[in-house]
Amino acid sequence: MRRARELSICIYGIPLAFLGVFFVYPLLSILDVSLRPAGALDLSGFASLLSTDYYLGTLIFTVYQAVISTVFTLLLATPCAFVFARYRFRGRSLLLSLATLPFVLPTVVVALAFASLLGKNGLLNDVMSSLFSLDYTLIQLERTLAMIIIVHVFYNFAVALRIMTSYWSSVGIAVEEAARCLGADERALWREIRLPLIRPAMLSAGALVFIFSFTSFGVILILGGIRFATLEVQIYYQAVNMFNLPLAAALSLVQILSMMAMMMLYTSTQKRLHLAIASSRTIARRARTGLERLAVGCCVALVSGLTLAPLLALVSRSVLASGRLDFSNYASLTEKSRGSLLFIAPLDSVFNSLRFALMAMIAALILGMIASYLIQRPGRLARLADPLFMLPLATSAVTLGFGFIIALDEPPLNLRASWLIIPISHTLVALPFVIRSVLPSLRAIPPSLREAARVLGAKPLDTLLTIDLPLLGRGLVVGATFAFTVSMGEFGASLFVAQREWVTIPVVIYRLIGDPGMASYRQSLAMSVVLMLVCAGGFIVIERLRIAGVGEF
């Protein structure tokens, strides 16, 4: 018994140690340097925070836009998740995968896609003005809050959709059938059963969407224009342009503490909500009535409109040159451009990206599974662990980057210029996704199932393999998909690496976009399309792995 206990402490310690070494330690180091520059505590940052109401305004705006983004994302994603979970239709899983693609695209590319769709000379304005022969620009969203919200919804829709769909597919339909027998109508079903049941997944997804919008950086900078600044933008500005580290640290702390408070609140509501009613029986069926068909149709239209339209605008831009089809920019991706900029042919970066994404995905899945079990245990440590694992998402990339530089600079942890920094930092960011995808399903597993298995003589490992894994299958796939996607699309950490052969796809895109000339601009569009294709391929493989690996009963 004691050995089992020691073993479990060891296992639970792995993700905690990972977080401690690669997140908490660097973060504390940079805060220490920023707030105690000459050995004495320097709180001038906090003083200047409080001296004007400018930063309070920033904080309020940050929360405000994050709340709106989250509400809209959930409003759109919840009905869609229901339809995707309950009805089978052609192209369902393909559409689910495609909806995840926006997540992988670098902000610069998304900005381009939206400009070509919703911009002044964009596709939609062209269509509108030729349809209704308008002589003014109908859609003027550039540099408005509306544009920021639209793009946040575009980025985060898939997160909410996939987490809720996977959960909704795994909660049993028996309760609903029972209620219907007792005479409940559709409205009562939604009010009394469906919404209360989906709430854990909804909050889980909402927490992620909120954090993402809260710490939004590129979207705000590129699409919002300078009138809008979130905390994250302020931190970057103070740390990089002004080198005012005390103020940047104060802002970082405000950001982290507000996220921490949000997460605590969320965790405490989450605990009370879960109902143990998991079932891996698939409940999807064909839409029968006209109303059901209409619902499916609306959903498909919404998902395609929201995610596919901007992506298609991007694809069409990448293959059209002055009104003609032209694939020369794709052909040139195999050449080492001018033998100079990137040190490798753009297409070779695909293998680098895949390699790092695979490493990050495996690491995040293993650590994320263990962390989910830890969080789900009763006790104070578990309550603290949940927000702790979310913190990397809430921490400004610049702050953490500086932390890495000063903390991880001695052997055996001299990682500053090593390629290892890429999978490690990707795993840090991917972990919350795995946890948020797995946790709702894990909590929904009735303890009686495991107890029954144990009574029948199953060893812990057998219980894990035969009870938990099949029930967590969908959540794991969603987690794996996002871990893969996060890594494929990540840009910042990949730049830190000294070995020049380790260029990843997003780095290539940024380099090409920053280079002058139409040719490299079009190459960057082509490379973005390649990134999407590679990811779509990855999704298909991950789906396959599930069927082969855990399968459904």
Partner 1 sequence: MFRPIISALLVVIIVAGAVSAQEAERVVVLTHDSFAMTEEVLAAFEEHTGLRVEILRSGDAGQMVNQAILSKNNPLGDVLYGVDNTFLSRALEAEIFAPYESPELQYVNADFIPDDTYRVTPVDFGDVCLNYDIAYFEENDLSLPGSLSDLLLPKYGGLLVAENPATSSPGLAFLLATVAEYGVEGDFTYLDYWQELYDNDILVVDGWTDAYYGEFKVAGRDTGSRPMVVSYASSPPAEVLYSENPDVGAITGAIVDDNMCFRQIEYAGVLAGAANEGAARQFVDFMLSPAFQEELPLNMFVFPVRDDIMLPEVFAKHALIPENPAHVDPAEIEAKRDEWIQAWMEVMLR
Residues that bind partner 1 (CB under 8 A): 33, 108, 111-112, 115-116, 119-121, 221-222, 225-227, 237, 239-244, 321-322, 336, 338-341, 343, 355, 358-359, 362, 398, 401-402, 405-406, 409-410, 416-417, 419, 495-500, 510-511, 513-521, 549
Q: Which is closer to partner 1, CB of 76 or CB of 513?
A: 513
Q: Which is closer to partner 1, CB of 272 or CB of 500?
A: 500
The CB-of-274 to partner 1 minimum distance in angstroms stands at: 29
The CB-of-328 to partner 1 minimum distance in angstroms stands at: 8
User: How far apart are the C-alpha atoms of 236 and 213, rounded to whole Å?
Assistant: 16
**Residue 547 near residue 274, CB atoms below 8 Å:** no
Q: Does the bond joining 440 to the residue before it have cis omega, within 30 degrees of 0? A: no
The CB-of-194 to partner 1 minimum distance in angstroms stands at: 35
The CB-of-125 to partner 1 minimum distance in angstroms stands at: 12
Q: Which is closer to partner 1, CB of 305 or CB of 514?
A: 514
Q: Which is closer to partner 1, CB of 133 or CB of 322?
A: 322
Q: Which is closer to partner 1, CB of 221 or CB of 478?
A: 221
The CB-of-34 to partner 1 minimum distance in angstroms stands at: 10
Instruction: Name every residue whose Cβ is closer than 8 Å to that of residue 3 and which is 6 or more positions away in sequence.
Output: none
User: How far apart are the C-alpha atoms of 246 and 44, rounded to whole Å?
Assistant: 7
The CB-of-172 to partner 1 minimum distance in angstroms stands at: 28
User: How far apart are the C-alpha atoms of 441 and 436, rounded to whole Å?
Assistant: 9
**Residue 263 near residue 269, CB atoms below 8 Å:** no
**Residue 167 near residue 473, CB atoms below 8 Å:** no
User: First and final CA of the chain: distance in angstroms?
Assistant: 33
Instruction: Name every residue whose Cβ is closer than 8 Å to that of residue 113 and which is 6 or more positions away in sequence.
Output: 105, 310, 311, 313, 314
The CB-of-111 to partner 1 minimum distance in angstroms stands at: 7
Q: Which is closer to partner 1, CB of 277 or CB of 495?
A: 495
Instruction: Name every residue whose Cβ is closer than 8 Å to that of residue 116 and which is 6 or more positions away in sequence.
Output: 122, 123, 313, 314, 317
**Residue 545 near residue 362, CB atoms below 8 Å:** no
Q: Which is closer to partner 1, CB of 273 or CB of 309?
A: 309
The CB-of-156 to partner 1 minimum distance in angstroms stands at: 22
Q: Which is closer to partner 1, CB of 248 or CB of 428?
A: 248
Alpha helices per DSSP H over 445-493: 447-455, 460-463, 469-489
Cα–Cα nearest to 436, from 354, 362, 359, 376: 376
Look at the block and give the residue holding tokens 């000459």.
38
